[in-house]
Amino acid sequence: MSKYVIEGSNKLSGEITVRGAKNSVLPILAASILNNNINIIFNIPEISDLKVMVKILKAIGCKVNAVDNIVTVDSRNLDKVRIPEELVREMRSSIILMGAMLSRCGEVEVSYPGGCEIGVRPIDFHLKALKELGAEIEESHGFIYCKGKSLKGADIQLDYPSVGATENIMLASIRAQGTTIIRNAAREPEIIDLQNFLNSIGGRIYGAGTSIIRIDGVNNLNSVEHTIIPDRIVAGTYMVASAITKGEIILKNIQVDHIQSIIAKLRETGCSIYNNCTTLKIIGPRIINPIESLQTLPYPGFPTDMQAQIMALLTLSSGTSVISETIFENRFKHVPELVRMGANIRTLGNVAVIKGVKQLTGAKVTAKDLRGGASLLLAGLAAEGATIIDNISHIDRGYERLEENLKSIGANIRRIK
């Protein structure tokens, strides 16, 4: 297993270009099987989750070619309906293949998904919605068997604005007979990106970015070229890197509208932020202000995927901060590791109280999940001495060439076996 070794206390300064969004490319790659045709997708991030999805697509018969952040998927020869169990268990996002496979093949067999263990993320919303579209679902011995040769449009009310469930419904209903309405739909930018992709291949979908999405079923789908939106969580992570090192970083290829909640909270800590639509400059504060109250919420609220990173920043604030995690109940796994580095954090249920300290100290720590691992890296950038982070395969799931980018702006970081 690879590790990161970080010598901290270096001020970061320079420019970084942000690649495509992990949480957008995975559902769009799943959608590439729908059109029985060729899909050319640009701005693809080089991350390990992408490699898993490519393996899945190849395993079910697709031809996939990845070169220089461009992936071409030819789904004309798709000939299998069973998703390999070992690949599904590597990546939770693989569950969105259910909707696409039902739409394309009328059936699918998939095991329960894996991924980061950040809490209970039931797929009940997905299964309930697919049943409402007419799918027959059987669960047995850790596998899910779905059949639905002639799905029909339905009016679906989600109990919670689940991103994955919203995506699965969109994928399943694009060819369904009649109209499907999703109420209380997720509003994330990645949902809009998926809608744009699906409409480009011939879908008739309206309302992404609002709480009500309408899908009018179609019969024919065509080939497409599509560019993935920038990754707002990667952008936010680099913004925190600038803040925690008192640095000065320019981010290129971003969509500022997608990161407004992150910008607002970093300004609260004292950061100076200047931006236009696609470029942002962030200057870290001399003194980091605490945040009296931060609550993670579905978009456009503050993203749960940025909670760990901003907690790392607040460990060095000049006062006491309070973070409430409302999305996942087990997303404080990074806290004991930050404490090993000298942080003063106490948790009770879904609330963390962070009392700022003057200095973090390098230590040997372990990444327990993707975003928690990123928070340890950020803490290491600011800490005194060497930080060694084990199990960085978690971090590789969501960040492209992370150590190379950080080195280019002044970080002392290296990867070792």
Whether 22 has a pLDDT exceeding 70, the answer reads yes
**Domain identity same for 211 and 272:** no
Flag whether 305 is marked binding: yes
Flag whether 275 is marked binding: no
Range(s) of the domain holding residue 371: 3-18+230-416
Distance CA(106)–CA(100), nearest Å, equals 9
**Domain identity same for 137 and 179:** yes
**Domain identity same for 163 and 14:** no
**Domain identity same for 154 and 260:** no
Helix (H) and strand (E) counts in the chain: 14, 23
pLDDT for position 351: 96
Flag whether 22 is marked binding: yes
Token pair listed for 78: 């798709």
**pLDDT by residue (tens digit) across 351-408?**
999 999 999 999 999 999 999 999 999 999 999 999 999 999 999 999 999 999 999 9
pLDDT for position 368: 95
**Domain identity same for 217 and 244:** no
Distance CA(289)–CA(63), nearest Å, equals 51
> At which of 187, 202, 227 does a domain end?
227
Whether 114 has a pLDDT exceeding 80, the answer reads no
**Catalytic residue positions, numbered:** 116
Confidence of residue 14 (pLDDT cuts 50, 70, 90): very high
Distance CA(268)–CA(274), nearest Å, equals 14
**Domain identity same for 11 and 94:** no
pLDDT for position 238: 98
Whether 120 has a pLDDT exceeding 80, the answer reads no
**pLDDT by residue (tens digit) across 173-186?**
999 999 999 999 99
**pLDDT by residue (tens digit) across 269-278?**
999 999 999 9
**Domain identity same for 219 and 262:** no
| Selection from 149, 163, 153, 147 nearest residue 133 by Cα | 153
Confidence of residue 246 (pLDDT cuts 50, 70, 90): very high
pLDDT for position 90: 85
- Residue 76's CB is within 10 A of a number of other CB atoms, namely 12
The residue length of the chain stands at: 417
Whether 117 has a pLDDT exceeding 70, the answer reads no
Distance CA(148)–CA(150), nearest Å, equals 6
Beta-bridge partner residues of 186: none
**Domain identity same for 156 and 204:** yes
Inter-residue contact 273 to 263 (CB < 8 Å): yes
**Domain identity same for 266 and 150:** no
> At which of 203, 227, 251 does a domain end?
227
pLDDT for position 139: 87
- Give the start-end residues of each E strand in 113-235: 136-140, 143-147, 155-157, 179-183, 204-206, 212-216, 224-227
**Domain identity same for 79 and 201:** yes
**Domain identity same for 13 and 31:** no
pTM, rounded to two decimals: 0.96
- Cβ neighbors of 351 (< 8 A, separation 6 or more) are 322, 323, 324, 325
Question: Domain holding 296: CATH number?
Answer: 3.65.10.10
pLDDT for position 118: 47
**Domain identity same for 359 and 214:** no
Instruction: Give the count of domains, the chain.
Output: 2
Whether 103 has a pLDDT exceeding 60, the answer reads yes
> At which of 227, 246, 261 does a domain end?
227
In degrees rounded to 5, what are phi and psi of residue 3? -135, 160
For residue 72, how far is the Cα from the chain centroid? 22
Whether 115 has a pLDDT exceeding 80, the answer reads no
